[in-house]
Amino acid sequence: MVKDKMNLQELDKKYYLPTFKRFPITLVKGEGSKVWDDKGNEYIDALAGIAVNSLGHKHPAVVNAIKEQADKLIHISNFYLNEPQALLAEKLAKLSGLDKVFFGNSGAEAVEGAIKLARKYSHTKREGGDIISFTGCFHGRTLATIAMGKKKMQEGFEPMPGGFKQSEFNNLENVKATADDNTAAIIVEPIQGEGGIIPAEPEFLKGLREFCDEKDIVLIFDEIQCGIGRTGYIFAKDFYGVQPDILTSAKALGGGVPISAILCNNKIASAINPGDHGTTFGGNPLATAAALATLNEIEKENFLEKVKEKGKWFVEEIKKRDPKRVGMKEIRGMGLMLGIVFEFETKTLVQNMMELGVLANATAENVLRIVPPLTISKEELQKVIDVIFKAAEVIKKNA
Catalytic residue numbers?
Answer: 138, 222, 251
What region does 327 belong to: left with phi over 0, alpha with psi -120 to 50, or beta?
Answer: left
Q: Are 100 and 92 in contact (CB under 8 A)?
A: no
- Helices then strands, counting H and E runs in the chain, come out as 15, 17
What region does 290 belong to: left with phi over 0, alpha with psi -120 to 50, or beta?
Answer: alpha
Alpha carbons 312 and 317: distance in angstroms, whole number: 9
Q: Which is it for strands 130-134 and 183-188: parallel, antiparallel or unpaired?
A: parallel
Rg (CA), the chain: 21
- Report the Cα 85 to chain-centroid distance in Å: 21
Number of Cβ atoms within 10 Å of the Cβ of 332: 17
Partnered with residue 247 across adjacent β-strands are 221, 263
Question: How many residues are given for the chain?
Answer: 399
Helices (H), 247-377: 266-269, 285-298, 303-319, 347-355
